[in-house]
């Protein structure tokens, strides 16, 4: 047996700290807790004694009485140490016996390689000065303070200073978008905002003064409770109406006065506001208390990781993740922490930091390790890892093969997979210094936490998969949710499924030896391509359809694609209803509209009944098991186990390929002719029968009612008739003509839709190209803000050929060219623009129209997808690595890590919509830039990972007249409500410049200001 203690450690460390604690626990227990399992058992059974012993053993700074450890055994409401008072910052920073105060506490590495080091003494002094400055500015217990800072030394100082004076701190990265920031911080009513816009080394277009001003304005405007803004980066002070803005300058403040004493506050005094990453709606804001955080982290760091003053701990994170708060607490052990605020430029980036700074315990994400593996990087061959003694991973499942790679390419250090969450600001499962690493499993459960897997009825299961619950109280639960006065949201988040237990929402199996493996999200949550979806979201939406009596969403392993899964929706129909294609389509449409693409099922299957437990609960798990060809684990708990075979048969039948490729019958629903449908809808909308040729509006119909009529047409007979077509002849006869004439949708139909009427019919119209979904919805905010006199049109058509094959960009563009040339609405010169995928379409449309002799006055490419196929080999490799890494930087990537992982490891379990998206990426990648000699304006997103430029060189090779205009935002939120106004203004300006160029007027005379630069 190899343990972390003897495997990678130097001889200096003989006995892990947990052995020392065990001695004390054994004394308290009056029994020998010799094995880790016995120790865990005791710590759970006697959790009050455990926490009491830990509090004493850890030698923390506190006052009051620790006689009452927990106020009850109720997980939901128990409070720990109600009579203990302490200060988290004091505990992290105070001088430690046997630890040299000159030991490096913080090593902050910047993107440019520069390093800032603070000893424990220096860090303490800086926190003291900053705390004094904050107190002088009125920050006191009860204040919530937002700190926007990259992961550098200042972030540590600021957070600890706020906590030192009794404030509650919430951190985020300064380059997060205002929507994300406001989604979090508008919930917490902060009184102060502390800004660190990053040092001058961080530069680039998104640098401190450049792009951040508008974002800051939006943020500050959205936080009405703010009383002051403090600028900690030494840069110029921004101005905000009615707000006090001051510099928080440590040196200047040094002379400011007597240090304020740091109060010891109640154990539950909130020190952090954390946000759980919800799947919909704003993230839940939760308060974490000083004592709970401190004790939990002391336990994890000292007992499970065995950190002490000899260690240097580096867990790569941003300030917006709970990992940051957790690594901060490592200071309590005397260990030094390493911070890094630069980008991950390649697989070597973090390993180099590990080597350069003598890191002993390194934390990274499984995707990062996977990147190293994929790119053939072998850390042990490249850098000196002699000091490294353990590697932690968290945030995603660590796969079996990653252990093999690690042993081969890194070394014998234990690789520990940690699983927990923001909700508990800690870990449920993690490593253990006395236990050997187990390939594919987390070694142990967190001490004193009664973490088990349970079945549907809440009974513990060992050796098989169950729901992760914690059955006893623990100090690091959130002390409260914000905006949840009666605790209802808190209750619903964790305590509904299994009363009396904390249900976390993960599926695990716990082996006899206490080791744990994760099996994805539990029943309660579907994991569709990495997107977490609560089935109730689906049920809520679908239940509004009167045809549906009951429904169940099940994630099924895709029988046709190994490793993939798909969303199956089982529906029980209301009496007399039949599940036809139209109804299935309507269900999909309503889920897409009110949910998201991820909510759209691959299969909709009608079944007579749903598996239900004796308690009357739906059992998604039973359905999932049977659909996956497994024996349902909880069959005995079902009152209708016979339903399962029916379901399995129905799904198998519905999923047969033949059934799926069967063409959708063209509409006439229920055999009703177009004229009958039209007459009925007129009658029902107008509430009286009218003649065939009577104008809808003459008969008293209003415009609002015309919308209702078209909606009912869409819903009841699946026919989409445009308002335009209706208004051309708003009579029963006119409508029935439209219905009879047009087949549902012609594959080659191109729509040129007026999005906004211009004021000057002679002005050049702007055509916006279909985006990745085949529609133009993404331009909504942009259109609103465009300042142009011309009409604005959306141009879109089918995404697939008659054979069902997805069209290439060039083919799509060819069809759109034909559509535009045939359009009655658009003639003469045109301006064209497109975003991302649509940018590529726009480019080829412009080429096509120009080739057909049309005057293309303007072509705007809005951060188009990089034309990978136009790159040369090495360029492509560099781009690929960089785009993968971008996923680690919040706000930089439109792919989440989980999505990417899902793509990488599970291949296709994707819904039709998701497949289409992936297809689009594939198609965009195959796009080649062909020469175009017209003027092109390239609108480039300001925020981007350094390596990922926009491959401008690939464009420049083919486009001699390329102008580049920088616009705010990152690729994915370029057209969001926040950024659209600026993007629209720059497009409008470029449009005017193009117009001026065309008619030969100086730009200024056209009212446009200077031409776009770049």
**CB 1012 → another protein: shortest distance, Å?**
22
Q: How far apart are CA 364 and CA 404, in angstroms?
A: 17
Q: Is 801 exposed, middle or buried (0-12, 13-18, 19+ CB in 10 A)?
A: middle
Q: Return the structure tokens found at 327.
A: 């690594």
CB 686, CB 704: distance < 8 Å: no
Q: Is the dihedral of CA 295, 300, 306, 307 positive or negative?
A: negative
Q: How far apart are CA 987 and CA 671, in angstroms?
A: 50
| Sequence-ordered list of residues with C-beta below 8 angstroms from that of 933, at least 6 positions apart, any chain | 959, 960, 961
Q: Which is nearer to another protein, 649 or 707 (CB)?
A: 707
Q: Which is nearer to another protein, 662 or 787 (CB)?
A: 787
Q: Which is nearer to another protein, 281 or 873 (CB)?
A: 281
**CB 985 → another protein: shortest distance, Å?**
13
**CB 591 → another protein: shortest distance, Å?**
13
DSSP bridge partners of 572: 550
| Sequence-ordered list of residues with C-beta below 8 angstroms from that of 221, at least 6 positions apart, any chain | none
**CB 541 → another protein: shortest distance, Å?**
9
Q: How far apart are CA 898 and CA 532, in angstroms?
A: 10
In degrees, rounded to 5, the angle at the alpha carbon of residue 260 between the alpha carbons of residues 256 and 261 is 160
DSSP bridge partners of 571: 551, 606
Q: Which is nearer to another protein, 784 or 875 (CB)?
A: 784
**CB 860 → another protein: shortest distance, Å?**
19
Q: How far apart are CA 333 and CA 360, in angstroms?
A: 14
Q: Which is nearer to another protein, 123 or 772 (CB)?
A: 772
Q: Count CB neighbours of 381 within 10 A.
A: 7
Q: Which is nearer to another protein, 727 or 851 (CB)?
A: 727
Question: In the complex, which residues of this chain contact another protein (CB under 8 A)?
Answer: 544, 590, 593-594, 695, 697-700, 702-704, 706-708, 710-711, 714-715, 723-724, 727, 753-757, 759, 780-781, 783-787, 977
Q: How far apart are CA 965 and CA 1014, in angstroms?
A: 5
What secondary structure letter does DSSP report for 866? P
**CB 780 → another protein: shortest distance, Å?**
6
**CB 763 → another protein: shortest distance, Å?**
13
- Alpha-carbon dihedral 210, 212, 213, 215, rounded to 10 degrees: 150
Q: Which is nearer to another protein, 112 or 787 (CB)?
A: 787
Q: Which is nearer to another protein, 14 or 759 (CB)?
A: 759
Counting runs of H as helices and runs of E as strands, what totals does the chain give? Answer: 34, 37
Q: How far apart are CA 176 and CA 184, in angstroms?
A: 11
Residue with tokens 């200073």: 161
Q: In 3D, which of 168, 101, 170, 158 has the Cα closest to residue 131?
A: 158
Return phi, psi of residue 9, to 5°: -85, 150
**CB 706 → another protein: shortest distance, Å?**
7
Q: In 3D, which of 287, 286, 294 has the Cα closest to residue 81?
A: 294
Cα 815 from chain centre: 36
Q: Is the dihedral of CA 667, 673, 678, 681 positive or negative?
A: negative
Q: How far apart are CA 660 and CA 804, in angstroms?
A: 13
Q: Which is nearer to another protein, 635 or 784 (CB)?
A: 784
Question: Three-state DSSP class for 646?
Answer: helix
Q: Which is nearer to another protein, 163 or 862 (CB)?
A: 862
- Angle, helix 290-298 to helix 47-57, in steps of 10 degrees: 80
Q: Which is nearer to another protein, 382 or 594 (CB)?
A: 594
Q: Which is nearer to another protein, 450 or 978 (CB)?
A: 978
Instruction: Establish how many alpha carbons lie within 13 A of residue 713's alpha carbon, considering only the half-sphere containing its beta carbon.
Output: 30
Q: How far apart are CA 627 and CA 650, in angstroms?
A: 10
Q: In 3D, which of 485, 503, 360, 328 has the Cα closest to residue 421?
A: 503
Q: Return the structure tokens found at 365.
A: 């994400």
Cα 33 from chain centre: 43
**CB 714 → another protein: shortest distance, Å?**
8
**CB 715 → another protein: shortest distance, Å?**
7
Residue with tokens 């708990």: 637
Q: Which is nearer to another protein, 704 or 872 (CB)?
A: 704
Q: Count CB neighbours of 1014 within 10 A.
A: 13
Q: How far apart are CA 779 and CA 594, in angstroms?
A: 19
**CB 972 → another protein: shortest distance, Å?**
15
Q: Which is nearer to another protein, 862 or 924 (CB)?
A: 862
**CB 206 → another protein: shortest distance, Å?**
25
Q: Is 503 exposed, middle or buried (0-12, 13-18, 19+ CB in 10 A)?
A: buried
**CB 777 → another protein: shortest distance, Å?**
8
Q: Which is nearer to another protein, 740 or 785 (CB)?
A: 785
How many residues are present in the chain? 1014
**CB 723 → another protein: shortest distance, Å?**
5
Q: Which is nearer to another protein, 96 or 699 (CB)?
A: 699
**CB 877 → another protein: shortest distance, Å?**
38
**CB 700 → another protein: shortest distance, Å?**
5
**CB 764 → another protein: shortest distance, Å?**
17
Q: What is the 3-state secondary structure (H, E, C) of 300-335?
A: HHHHHCCCCCCCEEEECCCCCCHHHHHHHHHHHHCC
Q: How far apart are CA 768 and CA 38, in angstroms?
A: 67
Q: Which is nearer to another protein, 793 or 955 (CB)?
A: 793
Cα 948 from chain centre: 21
Q: Which is nearer to another protein, 844 or 978 (CB)?
A: 978
**CB 977 → another protein: shortest distance, Å?**
6
């Amino acid at each position: 047996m190899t343990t972390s203690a003897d495997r990678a450690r130097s001889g200096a460390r003989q006995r892990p700290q947990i052995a020392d604690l065990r001695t004390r626990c054994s004394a308290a227990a009056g029994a020998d807790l010799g094995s880790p399992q016995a120790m865990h058992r005791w710590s759970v059974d006697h959790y009050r004694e455990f926490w009491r012993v830990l509090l004493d053993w850890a030698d923390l700074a506190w006052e009051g009485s620790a006689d009452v450890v927990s106020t009850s055994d109720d997980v939901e409401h128990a409070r720990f140490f109600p009579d203990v008072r302490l200060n988290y910052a004091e505990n992290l920073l105070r001088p430690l016996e046997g630890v040299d105060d000159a030991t490096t506490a913080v090593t902050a590495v910047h993107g440019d390689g520069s390093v800032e080091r603070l000893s424990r003494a220096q860090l303490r002094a800086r926190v003291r000065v900053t705390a004094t400055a904050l107190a002088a500015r009125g920050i006191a217990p009860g204040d919530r303070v937002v700190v926007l800072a990259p992961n550098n030394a200042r972030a540590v100082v600021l957070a600890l200073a706020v906590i030192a004076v009794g404030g509650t701190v919430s951190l985020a990265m300064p380059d997060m978008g205002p929507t994300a920031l406001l989604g979090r911080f508008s919930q917490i009513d902060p009184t102060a905002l502390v800004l660190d816009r990053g040092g001058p080394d961080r530069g680039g277009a998104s640098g401190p003064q450049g792009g951040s001003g508008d974002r800051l304005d939006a943020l500050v405007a959205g936080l009405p409770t703010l009383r002051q803004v403090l600028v900690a980066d030494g840069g110029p002070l921004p101005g905000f109406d009615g707000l006090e803005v001051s510099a928080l300058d440590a040196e200047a403040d040094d002379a400011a006065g007597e240090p304020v004493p740091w109060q010891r506050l109640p154990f539950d005094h909130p020190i952090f506001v954390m946000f759980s990453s919800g799947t919909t709606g704003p993230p839940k804001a939760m308060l974490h208390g000083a004592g709970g955080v401190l004790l939990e982290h002391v336990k994890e760091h000292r007992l499970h990781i065995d950190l002490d003053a000899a260690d240097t701990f580096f867990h790569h994170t941003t300030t917006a993740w709970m990992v940051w708060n957790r690594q901060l607490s490592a200071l309590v052990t005397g260990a030094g922490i390493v911070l890094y605020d630069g980008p991950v430029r390649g697989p070597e980036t973090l390993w180099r930091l590990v080597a350069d700074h003598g890191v002993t315990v390194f934390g990274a994400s499984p995707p990062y390790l996977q990147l190293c593996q994929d790119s053939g990087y072998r850390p042990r061959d490249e850098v000196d890892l002699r000091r490294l003694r353990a590697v932690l991973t968290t945030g995603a499942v660590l796969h079996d093969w990653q252990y093999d790679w690690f042993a081969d390419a890194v070394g014998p250090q234990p690789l520990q997979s940690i699983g927990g969450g923001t909700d508990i600001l800690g870990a449920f499962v993690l490593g253990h210094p006395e236990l050997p690493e187990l390939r594919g499993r987390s070694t142990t459960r967190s001490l004193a936490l009664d973490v088990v897997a349970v079945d549907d009825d809440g009974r513990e299961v060992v050796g098989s998969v169950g729901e992760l619950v914690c059955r006893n109280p623990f100090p690091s639960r959130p002390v409260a949710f914000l905006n949840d006065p009666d605790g209802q949201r808190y209750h619903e988040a964790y305590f509904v499924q299994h009363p009396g237990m904390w249900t976390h929402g993960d599926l695990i199996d716990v082996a006899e030896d206490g080791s744990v493996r994760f099996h994805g999200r539990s029943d309660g949550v579907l994991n569709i391509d990495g997107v977490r979806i609560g089935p109730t979201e689906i049920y809520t939406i679908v239940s509004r359809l009167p045809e549906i009596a009951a429904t169940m969403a099940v994630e099924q392993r895709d029988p046709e694609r190994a490793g993939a899964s798909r969303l199956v929706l089982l529906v029980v129909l209301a009496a007399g209803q039949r599940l036809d294609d139209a109804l299935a389509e309507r269900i999909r449409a309503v889920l897409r509209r009110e949910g998201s693409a991820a909510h759209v099922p691959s299969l909709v299957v009608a079944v007579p009944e749903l598996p239900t437990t004796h308690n009357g609960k739906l059992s998604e798990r039973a359905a999932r098991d049977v659909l996956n060809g497994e024996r349902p684990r909880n069959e005995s708990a079902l009152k209708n186990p016979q339903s399962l075979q029916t379901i399995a048969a129905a799904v198998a039948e519905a999923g047969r390929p033949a059934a799926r490729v069967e063409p959708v019958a063209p509409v006439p629903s229920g055999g009703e002719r177009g004229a009958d449908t039209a007459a009925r809808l007129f009658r029902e909308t107008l509430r009286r029968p009218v003649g065939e040729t009577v104008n809808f509006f003459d008969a008293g119909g209003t415009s609002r009612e015309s919308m209702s009529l078209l909606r009912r047409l869409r819903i009841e007979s699946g026919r989409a008739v445009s308002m335009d077509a209706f208004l051309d002849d708003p009579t029963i006869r006119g409508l029935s003509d439209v219905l009879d004439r047009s087949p549902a949708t012609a594959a080659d139909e191109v729509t040129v839709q007026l999005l906004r009427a211009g004021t000057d019919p002679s002005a050049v119209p702007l055509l916006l190209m279909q985006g990745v979904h085949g529609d133009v919805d993404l331009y909504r905010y942009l259109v609103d803000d465009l300042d142009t006199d011309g009409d604005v049109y959306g141009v879109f058509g089918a995404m697939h050929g008659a054979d069902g094959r997805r069209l290439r960009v060039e083919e799509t563009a060819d069809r759109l060219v034909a559509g535009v040339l045939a359009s009655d609405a658009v003639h003469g010169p045109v301006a064209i623009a497109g975003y991302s995928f649509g940018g590529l379409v726009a480019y080829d449309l412009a080429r096509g129209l120009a080739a057909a002799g049309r005057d293309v006055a303007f072509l705007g490419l809005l951060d188009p997808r990089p034309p990978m196929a136009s790159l040369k080999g090495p360029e492509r490799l560099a781009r690929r690595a960089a785009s993968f890494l971008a996923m680690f930087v919040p706000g930089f990537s439109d792919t989440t890590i989980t999505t990417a992982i899902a793509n990488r490891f599970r291949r296709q379990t994707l819904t039709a919509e998701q497949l289409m998206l992936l297809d689009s990426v594939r198609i965009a990648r195959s796009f080649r830039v062909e020469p175009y000699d017209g003027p092109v304006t390239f609108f480039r997103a300001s925020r981007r990972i350094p390596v990922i430029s926009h491959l401008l060189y690939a464009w420049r090779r083919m486009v001699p007249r390329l102008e580049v205009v920088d616009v705010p935002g990152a690729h994915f939120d370029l057209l969001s409500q926040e950024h659209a106004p600026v993007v629209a203004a720059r497009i409008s300006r470029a449009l005017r410049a193009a117009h001026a160029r065309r008619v030969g007027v100086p730009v200024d005379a056209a009212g446009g200001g200077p031409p776009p630069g770049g």
